[in-house]
Amino acid sequence: MLASRLQESRPDDSAGSGERGDADDEDDATAPSRRKRACRCGHDSSVAANRVATFPKAMPNYRELLQQVKSEIDELDVTRAHELLASDERPLVLDVRELDEWTEGRIPGAIHIPRGNLESRIEQAAPDRAQPILVYCAAGNRSAFAAKSLEELGYENVVSLAGGFTDWKRSGLPTELPRTLDGAKRQRYSRHVLIPEVGEEGQLKLLDSRVLLLGAGGLGSPAALYLAAAGVGRLGIVDDDRVDASNLQRQVLHSTARLGDWKVESAKRTLEELNPDVEVVPYRERLTSENVERILADGWDVIVDGADNFPTRYLINDAAVWHGIPLVHGSIYRFEGQATVFKPHDGPCYRCLFPQPPPPELAPSCAEGGVLGVLPGIIGSLQASEALKLCLGIGEPLVGRLLLFDALATEFSEVILRRDPACPVCGDSPTITEYIDYVEFCSGRPAHA
């Protein structure tokens, strides 16, 4: 606060002349003494000339400041606020209480940003400054200061709930008890909770999510590891193969000690050791037309395709279309990889690109052509990222976009994909309405990347 100044006008020229005369008579004094006296005399002369006295201005107390802020913002009582929330133009409801208050109950549909984090986080939650916002706290005081801060940040339509959540609850208006992470989970997923697009509610979504992975090999390994680490609550893994020494160059779910073990059992141990919050459901079988319905009946939100053979790719594509489940596709060969998302009714499916499988001589497997060990780690991680976005409902998944990666040149490129109205499965007049078990197009046993 700026101090007030009081000017006084007093004639004192003679006193000033006397001081200067005294200073002139001190020629025989020591230099330090002269400087000290000159400094004192100069200060006295300055004060005498300006005659400025400084008095502290009384700072407003909390009640005065609160009263001033409330006079500068708009407030609504709980009755009018309830009517506003029931209207067609429902505002964003913002709870600025602390976490322990939030966990005890909230206005339905509210988002939580503690008052201390408001300025740094509100732009992610409400990027449109013209959006109406109803702010509340426990009693209406913190929300008043929050509303004032929002107006200073440029938000045009902000109101504070007078009486806060206390009056809302006392009036018998609807409330809800939010689900929250316990202390251990809050610590484990703290870096997710800090991200506005994820937060606590997003992490709870992940813990409720169910993702099915086809294959526990090169692509399935990094995808499964990152999905488990992220806290996806239920992971299903379909694979009928055993761990072989040739797998260990890229299939990081497994180890030398597990040579000869079933891959689904090896994967289950690795993932549950990584994150006990995750339930791993192993399917020690190859996906076929006979078991695909049974496996999908367990209820999956997203499917991650890590298969390395065309029959499985066509089978899971058709099943995903008919069940309306997003399918995260990935494939690799030598130094090249690709990834996309086939989301039923929102974009193309695999058959829009390739209506029928290619001839065997044009479809070499990794066992025949080889693959750079790190490549499935890159593509599999991209698949995990796409699966997490789909589970959270955030971002722009690779729907209608094929992402290509060249490891030799370290270059990414993108190809736009469009739904084919003549597609035999997702087209306007489908010609394929039943599952087809194609003849194996990869030599030997079906491998998984």
Burial of 150 (0-12, 13-18, 19+ CB in 10 A): buried
Helical pair 220-230 and 375-392, crossing angle rounded to 10 deg = 40
Q: Calculate mean pLDDT across residues 86-105.
A: 94
Share of the chain above pLDDT 70, in %: 83
Q: Which two tokens stand for residue 429?
A: 């007049």
240 close to 284: Cβ distance less than 8 angstroms: yes
The helix (run of H) or strand (run of E) holding residue 283 is: strand 279-283
Q: Are residues 238 and 311 in the same domain?
A: yes
The helix (run of H) or strand (run of E) holding residue 79 is: helix 78-85
135 close to 158: Cβ distance less than 8 angstroms: yes
Question: b vs e for 92-102, b when ≥16 Cβ sit within 10 Å of the residue's Cβ?
Answer: bbbbbbeeebb
Match 């400094």 to its residue by tokens. 39
Residue 114, pLDDT above cutoff 50: yes
Q: Which two tokens stand for residue 230?
A: 């992220």
Match 């919050």 to its residue by tokens. 277
Q: Are residues 158 and 256 in the same domain?
A: no
Give the distance from CA 275 to its chain's centroid.
20
**CA separation for the pair 109, 127 (Å, rounded):** 18
103 close to 95: Cβ distance less than 8 angstroms: no
Residue 442, pLDDT above cutoff 50: no
Q: Are residues 319 and 242 in the same domain?
A: yes
129 close to 154: Cβ distance less than 8 angstroms: yes
Q: Are residues 255 and 386 in the same domain?
A: yes
Each residue's pLDDT tens digit, 294-326: 999 999 999 999 998 889 999 999 999 999 999
Q: Are residues 124 and 221 in the same domain?
A: no
Distances (CA, A) of 231 to 70, 88, 156: 44, 36, 38
| CATH for 362 | 3.40.50.720
Q: Are residues 340 and 268 in the same domain?
A: yes
DSSP per-residue string spanning 187-238: HHTHHHHTSTTTHHHHHHHHHH-EEEEE-SSTTHHHHHHHHHHHT-SEEEEE
Is 421 inside a domain boundary? no
User: How many residues appear in the chain?
Assistant: 449
Give the distance from CA 359 to its chain's centroid.
43
Q: Are residues 50 and 155 in the same domain?
A: no
pLDDT of the residue at 448: 56
pLDDT of the residue at 308: 87
Residue 359, pLDDT above cutoff 70: yes
Q: Calculate mean pLDDT across residues 253-276.
A: 98
Task: Please give the tally of structural domains in the chain.
Answer: 3
Q: Where are the alpha helices (DSSP H) in 275-361?
A: 292-296, 310-323, 350-353
Give the distance from CA 159 to its chain's centroid.
28
Domain with 394 in it: 209-416
Mean pLDDT of the chain: 87
Q: Calculate mean pLDDT across residues 47-69.
A: 74
Q: Are residues 382 and 306 in the same domain?
A: yes
| CATH for 110 | 3.40.250.10
Q: Calculate mean pLDDT across residues 41-69.
A: 69
Q: Are residues 79 and 33 in the same domain?
A: no
Is 362 inside a domain boundary? yes
pLDDT of the residue at 440: 54
* Among the ranges given (12-21, 208-217, 226-235), the one the predictor scored with the smallest mean pLDDT: 12-21
Each residue's pLDDT tens digit, 137-187: 999 999 999 999 999 999 999 999 999 999 999 999 999 998 889 999 999
Instruction: Tell me the β-bridge partners of 283.
Output: 238
pLDDT of the residue at 187: 96
Q: Are residues 247 and 137 in the same domain?
A: no
Is 190 inside a domain boundary? no
Report the SS3 class of residue 341. strand
Residue 39, pLDDT above cutoff 60: no
pLDDT band per the 50, 70, 90 thresholds, residue 60:
confident
Give the distance from CA 427 to its chain's centroid.
34
Is 186 inside a domain boundary? no
Report the SS3 class of residue 413. strand
Q: Where are the alpha helices (DSSP H) in 8-141?
A: 13-24, 31-50, 62-72, 78-85, 99-102, 118-125
Residue 10, pLDDT above cutoff 60: no
251 close to 217: Cβ distance less than 8 angstroms: yes
Is 187 inside a domain boundary? no
Is 66 inside a domain boundary? yes
Residue 64, pLDDT above cutoff 60: yes
Of the three residues 170, 193, 219, the one that is the final residue of a domain is: 170
Q: Calculate mean pLDDT across residues 378-394.
A: 98
**CA separation for the pair 69, 202 (Å, rounded):** 34
Is 306 inside a domain boundary? yes
Residue 49, pLDDT above cutoff 90: no
329 close to 340: Cβ distance less than 8 angstroms: yes
Is 350 inside a domain boundary? yes
Match 């000033």 to its residue by tokens. 16
The CA radius of gyration of the chain, in Å to the nearest whole number, is 35
Residue 24, pLDDT above cutoff 80: no
Residue 47, pLDDT above cutoff 50: no
Residue 447, pLDDT above cutoff 50: no
Q: Which two tokens stand for residue 194?
A: 């800090």
Match 């699966």 to its residue by tokens. 387
Residue 19, pLDDT above cutoff 80: no
pLDDT of the residue at 53: 57
Other C-beta atoms closer than 10 Å to the C-beta of 423 total: 21
Q: Are residues 405 and 281 in the same domain?
A: yes
Torsion of the alpha carbons at 47, 51, 52 and 54, rounded to the nearest 10: 90
Q: Are residues 287 and 380 in the same domain?
A: yes
Burial of 174 (0-12, 13-18, 19+ CB in 10 A): exposed
